[in-house]
Amino acid sequence: MSSLEALEKELRALKNPQKAALYQRFFKTGKGEYGEDDIFWGITVPQQRQVAKKYTSLAFFELQKILSSKIHEYRLTALIILTAKYKKADEPGKKAIADFYLKNTKNINNWDLVDLSAPNILGDYFFDKDKAILYKLARSKDLWEKRIAMMATFGFIRRGQFTDALKIAELLLKDQHDLIHKAVGWMLREVGNRDQKIEEKFLNQHSHQMPRVMLRYAIEKFPEEKRRFYLG
């Protein structure tokens, strides 16, 4: 049995139909919803992490097989493995992983998949490099590519670099999707957690045109009086 077959066997053994039904609703897999056709097996993230630990030696062609699967837990486990491989890789290895990731954006197609991986792979790799690809993703018509662009900036924010997060947030201010509103608001809040003056400068320029959900996420940690000011 190959390592890939062994991983798949372990995941199949963890299937939980009750949790799967819950996850199908939570991740909006119905017709016309953002997660349409995504298939869940009801495996928890801690369980997937435990399995993934054993298979970090999987090659790209093996990861490609599970990252291309309709089964959500296969894709998430692949991304957990990819993130673990990235942390241990040298610079050429990191580039190969970032390139592989960018070729697979169509398979990184739910918010948990994006949020787990984009900051830790793209957000680390592009910190000290040309970030044009992130701006291209931010201008994409694809919901998940836009969220990848925004969430990748979390890797920059953690290291005290806010410029690209603010620029990409500005690009996405008028986006129509709730999941982009939440991602932008969250990243603005993370900027504010580190430098509230910088966040407030952005809000003073743009809060009047921000969707309500985005604004609420952005000011969640503000004192009540200041929250009322911006909401007013």
Q: How does pLDDT run across 60-69, given as a tens digit for each residue?
A: 999 999 999 9
**Ranges of the chain whose pLDDT falls below 50:** none
Which pLDDT belongs to residue 1? 80
How far apart (Å, rounded) are the C-alpha atoms in residues 197 and 174? 23
Structurally, the chain folds into a number of domains equal to 2
Which tokens belong to 189? Answer: 């809040």
122 belongs to a structural domain: no
Does one domain contain both 83 and 158?
no
Which pLDDT belongs to residue 173? 97
How far apart (Å, rounded) are the C-alpha atoms in residues 191 and 188? 5
Final residue belonging to a domain, choices 117, 149, 175: 117
Does one domain contain both 96 and 141?
no
Which pLDDT belongs to residue 4? 96
With contact defined as beta carbons under 8 Å apart, do 82 and 100 qualify? yes
Distances 86 to 47, 82, 144 between C-alpha atoms, Å = 21, 6, 21
Which pLDDT belongs to residue 55? 97
**Cβ atoms < 10 Å from Cβ of 161:** 13
With contact defined as beta carbons under 8 Å apart, do 217 and 188 qualify? yes
Whose tokens are 């697979």? That residue is: 104
* pLDDT tens digits for range 1-50: 889 999 999 999 999 999 999 999 999 999 999 999 999 999 999 999 99
Domain containing residue 193: 129-232
Query: Phi, psi at residue 39, to the nearest 5°?
Result: -110, 125
Q: CB-based burial of residue 172 (10 Å sphere; 0-12 exposed, 13-18 middle, 19+ buried)?
A: buried
With contact defined as beta carbons under 8 Å apart, do 156 and 175 qualify? no
Which pLDDT belongs to residue 138? 98
Give this prediction's pTM. Answer: 0.96
Which pLDDT belongs to residue 2? 86
Does one domain contain both 48 and 144?
no
Amino acid, res. 23:
Y
How far apart (Å, rounded) are the C-alpha atoms in residues 62 and 48? 17
Q: What is the CATH number of the domain that holds 3?
A: 1.25.10.90
